[in-house]
Amino acid sequence: MPNLKNVPLESQLSIAFLPELIAALPSELQIIAERLFFIERVKGHTVPPPLMHEWIRHYFGDIALVCDQTIVKIVNRLTLEAATYNPLRGQRPQEAGDNSQISPDEALEAMLAANAGSQDTFHDPLNGTTADLFGRIRGKYCLSASNVAKYDGWHGLVIFDEFHPLRFNLDQFQDYFAVALRWLIAAQKTDSKACYPLITWNCLWKGGASIVHGHLQMTLSQGMAAGQVERWRRATIDYRTQYQSSLFADLAQLNQALRLIFHESNEVWGYTSLIPVKDREIVLLPKAILQPEIWAETNERQICGMLEPLWAATYTALRELIDGQGMRSFNLAVYLPPCRPTTESWAEMPICVRIVDRGNPLTRLVNIGAMELFANNIANTDPFALAQALREA
Q: Where are the alpha helices (DSSP H) in the chain?
A: 9-12, 18-23, 27-36, 53-60, 63-67, 104-114, 125-128, 170-190, 227-243, 247-257, 294-297, 300-306, 308-323, 370-374, 383-392
Q: What is the dihedral of CA 84, 90, 91, 97, to 10 degrees?
A: 130
Fold adopted by 104-392 = HIT family, subunit A (3.30.428)
Is the predicted pLDDT of residue 5 greater than 80, yes or no?
Answer: no
CB 301 within 8 A of CB 380: no
Q: Mean pLDDT for the chain? A: 92
Is the predicted pLDDT of residue 7 greater than 70, yes or no?
Answer: no
Is the predicted pLDDT of residue 287 greater than 80, yes or no?
Answer: yes
- The domain spans of the chain are 4-91, 104-392
The amino acid present at 350, given as its one-letter code, is: P
Question: In this prediction, what percent of the chain has a pLDDT beyond 90?
Answer: 83
Question: In this prediction, what percent of the chain has a pLDDT beyond 70?
Answer: 94
Q: pLDDT tens for residues 79-109?
A: 999 999 987 876 666 555 455 578 899 999 9
- pLDDT of 208: 92
216 phi/psi in degrees, rounded to 5: -100, 165
What is the Cα–Cα distance from 382 to 308, expressed in whole angstroms?
A: 29
Mean pLDDT of 215-235: 97
Q: Alpha-carbon torsion 69, 75, 80, 83, what sign?
A: negative
DSSP state of 187: H
Q: Would you place residue 1 in the very low, low, confident or very high pLDDT band (cuts 50, 70, 90)?
A: very low
- pLDDT of 393: 84
